[in-house]
Structure 1
Amino acid sequence: MLPVDEIRLNFNPASLAVLNAVLAFLMFGIALDTRLDDFRRVLRMPLAFAVGIGAQFVALPAITFALTLALQPGPSIALGMILVACCPPGNVSNLLTHRANGNVALSVSMTAVSNAIAIVAMPLNFAFWGGIHPTAAPLLRTIALDPLDMVGHILLIIGLPFVLGLWLAHRWPAWTLRFKRPVRILSFLALIGFIVGAIAGNWRYFLDYVGLVLLAVVLHDALAFATGYTISRLAGLPDYDRRALTIEVGIRNAGLGLVLIFSFFGGLGGMAVVAGVWGFWDIIAGLILADWWARRPVQGTTTTVRETA
């Protein structure tokens, strides 16, 4: 069995083009469910917003970096963990927050703003943490990654669909109200389908190497949720907001990670296996946490609170 850093998962150009389109469609669906008021709303929740942004774009990558030093996985596995930590959240976090009786308005606003920030922050964050990693940095230099190329790619598959969706939602609100839910569900199912397809097409590699990444992914995901909860608790946020921010930080868009891995890293083994396993485990862990919270009343309230965006 080859070392995980030497394998390349198979994903032909046509499939990659379709995956890019699916991810763009997913971002379009997120935008249809976003309003300009979502961006204005964060101004009315400055502390929660600052905590959420700091936890996602500063604390989580730093903690992930420390975790890779502690676990000492293969260089490509470490790069995969760092890349996933730098990804923005997906709109599944909004659904899980609703299930957990958390602040849905905060979750939706954070998802919208975080995806906008990630267009620039994600490649720069990844280049920084990957570039200073003692074992992953040499591998990253052989790939000759250009952060500006990644920014351009992210702009095409996140930025443009997001702006288009926002414009349509503002221009034709009645149409948006009718189609946003089917679009969101269809795009999410399509993304899951492609993650399944990526794994199925490289099933032998996943069987051979999943044991190398499973523990790392489980610990990493638990730390991501714990990061959101701990920082929001230390900031003195109420339980209603803590639930939203915990899920918002814990849920990462592994589908975007897969697109970038196949587009810029040639399907590098450890990175692709980490993103593929994360894509499933993250949702499972999120559902378990949301269901646990759903059975517990929100602290500081006498009744269960649910807010729609």
Structure 2
Amino acid sequence: MCLAIIMFGVALDICLADFQALFKNPKPIFIGLSSQLILLPVLTLILIVITEPIPSLALGMMLVAACPGGNISNFMSSMAKGNIALSVSLTACTTILAILFTPIIFTLLASTYEPTKELLKTFSISIYDVAFTVTFILGLPLLLGISFNHYLPTLTEKIKVVIKPFSILIFIVFVSVAFFKNKEIFMSYFQYIVYLVFAHNALAFLGAYFYSGLFQLSLTDRRSITIETGIQNSGLGLVLIFTFFDGLGGMAMITAWWGIWHIISGLTLATFWSFKPLCLTA
């Protein structure tokens, strides 16, 4: 319920006009979606095969890669002189598509890597149950928030004043609970977890930047797609972990630390780009 409130707050910043970009210039949208829904999962699997983390940590990396973009990415895109309309459209699209793609991507990744495939067998998880949960905590609040913004703009502005600080507080509580419940695991694998998340997040940023460059997109589009790919909704990941995986320690630690690190790395990258001109050498 708490994450549903967060997503409702996120959707209050989205208006129907934001989706006009889908029809006016669909190329950046499709490249951005493929970067998040295809490129990131593939890069994640490659990193896991190379580093061979313990299965629970690998599952956490897979779940992060299967989650939609995080809402803070829109603010970061603005800082980075990116395409804000593209950023908002990608966040909204991946959030809606998460109803279908989050369970599918996670299941495919976990089933492809033998150690995680064996660990997954110890949990009774239905792809339909995951899809229903994602629909309830992401899809419905998103549609409700967009409707509020469209039909009740004055009320929306008043609600946003309360919802945004509350959303930040809820996210901090999510991460804190994850760390508290798994503090022994975090202390035992601290350096390993930090290293994996750092490498995973860096690979997401770098992969997305060069991938979008292959299609000769503008630098504003490349910056937004890069940030959208590297900023994932770790709050959703934590909810799924506590709902379907009994708060599995390795998964929770990877996801919780990602939730902290991607803010640090994303803001650092956005700040760097804010001082760089929009030219070929940026």
- Give TM-score scaled by structure 1 length: 0.87
For 1:215, the equivalent position in structure 2 comes to 195
For 1:228, the equivalent position in structure 2 comes to 208
Distance 1:292 1:29 in 2: 28
For 1:168, the equivalent position in structure 2 comes to 148
| 8 A Cα contact 1:87 1:257, kept in partner | yes
Counterpart amino acid of 2:229? V
- Which of 88, 92, 96 is matched with 2:72 structurally? 92
Alpha-carbon shift at residue 103 of structure 1 (Å): 0.8
| 8 A Cα contact 2:174 2:238, kept in partner | no
| 8 A Cα contact 2:178 2:253, kept in partner | no
- 2:38 alignment partner, SS class: helix
- 1:257 alignment partner, SS class: helix
Sequence identity, in percent? 41
Distance 2:258 2:174 in 1: 14
For 2:273, the equivalent position in structure 1 comes to 293
Counterpart amino acid of 1:176? T
Distance 2:170 2:247 in 1: 20
Counterpart amino acid of 1:104? I
Structure-to-structure mapping, 1:127-166, within 5 angstroms: 127-166=107-146
| 8 A Cα contact 1:38 1:112, kept in partner | no
Alpha-carbon shift at residue 80 of structure 1 (Å): 0.6
For 2:233, the equivalent position in structure 1 comes to 253
Alpha-carbon shift at residue 59 of structure 1 (Å): 0.9
Structure 2 alignment gaps of length 5 or more: none
CA distances 1:180-202 after superposition (whole Å, capped 9, x unpaired): 25423421332123212331343
Distance 2:162 2:279 in 1: 34
| 8 A Cα contact 1:89 1:251, kept in partner | yes
Distance 2:165 2:212 in 1: 30
- Is it true that 1:61 corresponds to 2:59 in the alignment? no
- Which of 236, 241, 265 is matched with 2:221 structurally? 241
In the superposition, relative to structure 1, how do residues 119 and 181 fare at CA in structure 2: closer, same or farther (>3 Å)? farther
Distance 1:109 1:181 in 2: 22
Structure 1 stretch displaced more, 169-178 or 280-289: 169-178
| 8 A Cα contact 1:80 1:270, kept in partner | yes
Counterpart amino acid of 1:276? A
- 2:63 alignment partner, SS class: helix
- Which of 165, 168, 172 is matched with 1:192 structurally? 172
Alpha-carbon shift at residue 31 of structure 1 (Å): 0.9
| 8 A Cα contact 1:209 1:273, kept in partner | no
| 8 A Cα contact 1:240 1:299, kept in partner | no
Distance 1:227 1:111 in 2: 18
CA distances 1:62-111 after superposition (whole Å, capped 9, x unpaired): 11011100000001111110100011011100011111111111101111
- Is it true that 1:77 corresponds to 2:57 in the alignment? yes
For 2:17, the equivalent position in structure 1 comes to 37
Distance 1:155 1:241 in 2: 29
Distance 2:240 2:89 in 1: 25
Counterpart amino acid of 1:254? S
Distance 1:231 1:271 in 2: 28
Distance 2:99 2:168 in 1: 20
- Is it true that 1:180 corresponds to 2:163 in the alignment? no
Alpha-carbon shift at residue 38 of structure 1 (Å): 1.6
Alpha-carbon shift at residue 171 of structure 1 (Å): 1.5
Distance 1:289 1:189 in 2: 24
| 8 A Cα contact 2:69 2:231, kept in partner | yes
How many positions carry a matched residue from both structures?
281
Structure 1 alignment gaps of length 5 or more: 1-20, 301-309
- Is it true that 1:106 corresponds to 2:86 in the alignment? yes
| 8 A Cα contact 2:182 2:253, kept in partner | no
Distance 1:112 1:192 in 2: 23
Distance 1:202 1:129 in 2: 24
Runs of 4 or more, structure 1, over 3 Å off, are none
- Give TM-score scaled by structure 2 length: 0.95
Distance 1:246 1:229 in 2: 5
- 2:259 alignment partner, SS class: helix
Distance 1:166 1:38 in 2: 10
